[in-house]
């Protein structure tokens, strides 16, 4: 358990080593990155075995740092879930980035630095520390997208990072205000402190911090960075962006905004729920008419994060558990979808235009990709048997307990998701099925899928199915964490 902080350190060490090694050779950089990711996953696995879910967070490190904040790392079930997600997503991301040859060392260094920041966010038990790690995770994104990206990469990267930074500016303003009002940044003290704040203060601070984090979680109308950024990003980075980075925003909302300012949540609850539902439906409908393969997945991410936001807004224990599970699930599934689109299809066919792909017998040419994408698509629709189902179901249950109309509106998102997923499966993979009609000269065979791709895809699918069939694995971590005094405030506050 106490090794868990080493995920952060190991990532940064790995980043430095990969950078050094990458200056001359690319293979060692790659292997170093893989080893780092495996090492992290090993640490997480070890910690998971050791982890006994309890209501209280378990402190890992607590050192004095600066006058108003301490270097306080801790883990509870929610952190563990998301740390595990990060470990898996990082490993898969590296596997799907195996073919990076341009500035390999730089790529993996930035990749691991980003991962290190993400681990830091998920393990921080101090608001200031969390914010520091959060910002550390922002900058590498810019370079990952701008250097190794594709379409419109510099625009996408800049938009992505400016949105993130604007969001974090809001968070910073909120934190400073809270600090000035006498709140200590140690998250364990939030519960005791909130009652010194007035309604107006809580509302204002909540608005700043929640909005700031929600920008990164893809909340409508601040979501527009997400599709562009995801599309521009290289495969590994878009996997991380959708898989992990969007979760940072939701996690920040859950960990800082909700418990610290329960009255703020009460005030903004309808608005957030409305924006969450708007995200589910609007992004889903927009995904339905995209012609760029990756844009479909980008918008679908926004749509799925809408469920997370809805869960956060509703803030009953069940909805929150669903939201955390949805973060995990979406991290895995969206990562897989981006992997198929970016790595398996785009890098072989060099097009993402659905109508062009439709003219290729892609199902024949890349059967593995077609099967994986179909399965991932089914998972993404929230079909039972995959991880998205218990998550969305749990959110729906929680929403019912709160407001019937919200539940009905959110449920409409499910057939919409089915519609755009099936459409894209059809257009992209099952265009010309009768390969006989097409002479092989028209379509030279594509390079077959490589073993890192297969490994990564199987890993992610296996995780999604395991969690889908036995969600208790994660819920047994998440649920006790939601019963901590800190989180009780959330559900009590929202119930008022």
Site for another protein in 349-388 (CB under 8 A): 374, 378, 381, 383-385
| Short-list 464, 170, 160, 417, CA closest to 307 | 417
Q: Which two tokens stand for residue 261?
A: 């300012």
Nearer to another protein, 72 or 91 (CB): 72
Distance (Å, rounded) from C-alpha 245 to C-alpha 386? Answer: 22
Question: Which window, 33-41, 224-232, 298-306, 477-485, contacts another protein (CB under 8 A)?
Answer: 477-485
Nearer to another protein, 35 or 411 (CB): 411
Of 182, 441, 444, 451, the one binding another protein by CB under 8 A? 182
From CA 389, how far away is CA 381, in angstroms rounded? 8
- HEC readout, 433-452: CCHHHCCCCCCCCCCCCCHH
Position 52 contacts another protein (CB under 8 A): no
Distance between CA atoms of residues 46 and 6, nearest Å: 12
Antiparallel, parallel or unpaired: β 69-75 and 58-66: antiparallel
Going by the DSSP 8-state scheme, the letter that residue 196 receives in this structure is G
Helix (H, G, I), strand (E, B) or coil at 64: strand
User: Among 44-52, 80-88, 175-183, 337-345, which window interacts with another protein (CB under 8 A)?
Assistant: 175-183
Q: With beta carbons less than 8 A apart as the criterion, state whether 77 and 325 touch.
A: no
User: Min. distance of Cβ 72 from another protein in angstroms?
Assistant: 14
Q: Rule CB under 8 A: which of 301-360 touch another protein?
A: 317-318, 321
Peptide bond into 221 cis (omega under 30): yes
181 binds another protein, rule: CB under 8 A: yes
Q: Shortest Cβ distance from residue 284 to another protein (Å)? A: 12
Q: From the CB of 42, what's the least distance to another protein, in Å?
A: 26
Check: CB of residue 309 under 8 Å from CB of residue 272: yes
Residue 381 beta carbon to another protein: minimum distance, rounded to whole angstroms: 7
Residues 383-412 that bind another protein (CB under 8 A): 383-385, 389-390, 393-394, 396-401, 403-404, 407-408, 411-412
The span from the CA of 159 to the CA of 166, in Å, is 10
Q: Which is nearer to another protein, 91 or 212 (CB)?
A: 212
Among 30, 72, 103, 255, binds another protein (CB under 8 A): 103
Of residues 153-172, those binding another protein (CB under 8 A): 154, 158, 161-162, 165-166, 168-169, 172
3-state secondary structure 339-362: HHHHHHHHHHHCCCEHHHHHCCCH
- Closest approach, Cβ 330 to another protein, in A, equals 18
Q: Which of residues 413-472 bind another protein (CB under 8 A)?
A: 414-415, 418-419, 422-423, 426, 430, 433, 470-472
């Amino acid at each position: 358990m106490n090794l868990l902080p080493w995920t952060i350190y190991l990532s940064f060490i790995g980043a430095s080593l990969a950078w050094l090694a990458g200056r001359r050779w690319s293979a060692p950089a790659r292997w170093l990155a893989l080893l780092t990711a495996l090492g992290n996953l090993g640490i997480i696995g070890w910690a998971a075995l050791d982890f006994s879910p309890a209501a209280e967070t378990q402190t890992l490190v607590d050192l004095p740092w600066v006058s108003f904040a301490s270097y306080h790392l801790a883990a509870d079930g929610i952190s563990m879930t998301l740390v595990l997600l990060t470990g898996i997503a990082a490993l898969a991301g590296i596997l799907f980035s195996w073919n990076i040859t341009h500035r390999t060392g730089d790529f993996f260094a930035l990749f691991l630095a980003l991962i290190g920041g993400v681990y830091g966010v998920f393990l921080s038990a101090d608001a200031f520390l969390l914010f520091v790690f959060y910002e550390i995770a922002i900058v590498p994104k810019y370079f990952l997208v701008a250097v190794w990206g594709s379409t419109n990469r510099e625009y996408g990267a800049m938009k992505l990072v400016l949105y993130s930074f604007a969001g974090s500016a809001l968070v910073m303003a909120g934190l400073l205000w809270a600090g000035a009002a006498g709140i200590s940044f140690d998250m364990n003290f939030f519960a005791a402190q909130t009652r010194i704040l007035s309604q107006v203060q809580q509302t204002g601070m909540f608005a700043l911090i929640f909005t700031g984090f929600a920008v990164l979680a893809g909340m409508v109308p601040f979501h527009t960075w997400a599709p562009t950024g995801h599309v521009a990003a290289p495969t590994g980075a878009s996997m991380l962006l959708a898989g992990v980075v969007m979760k940072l925003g939701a996690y920040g909302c859950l960990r800082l905004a909700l418990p610290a300012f329960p009255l703020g949540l009460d005030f903004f609850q309808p608005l957030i729920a409305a924006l969450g539902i708007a995200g589910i439906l609007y992004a889903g409908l927009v995904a339905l008419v995209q012609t760029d393969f990756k844009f479909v997945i980008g918008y679908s991410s926004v749509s799925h994060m809408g469920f997370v936001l809805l869960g956060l807004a509703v803030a009953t224990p069940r909805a929150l558990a669903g939201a955390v599970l949805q973060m995990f699930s979406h991290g895995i599934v969206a990562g897989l979808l981006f992997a198929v689109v970016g790595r398996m299809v785009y890098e072989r066919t060099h097009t993402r235009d659905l109508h062009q792909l439709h003219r290729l017998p892609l199902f024949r040419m890349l059967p593995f990709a077609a099967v994986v994408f179909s399965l991932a698509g089914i998972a993404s629709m929230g079909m039972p048997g995959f991880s998205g189902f218990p998550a969305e179901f749990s959110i729906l249950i929680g929403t019912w307990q709160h407001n019937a109309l919200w539940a009905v509106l959110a449920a409409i998102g499910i057939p919409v998701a089915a519609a755009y997923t099936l459409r894209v499966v059809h257009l992209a993979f099952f265009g010309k099925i009768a390969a006989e009609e097409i002479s092989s000269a028209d379509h030279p065979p594509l390079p077959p899928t490589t073993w890192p791709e297969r490994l990564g895809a199987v890993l992610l699918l296996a995780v999604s199915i395991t969690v889908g069939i036995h969600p208790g694995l994660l819920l047994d971590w998440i649920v006790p964490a939601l019963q901590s005094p800190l989180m009780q405030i959330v559900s009590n506050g929202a119930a008022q």
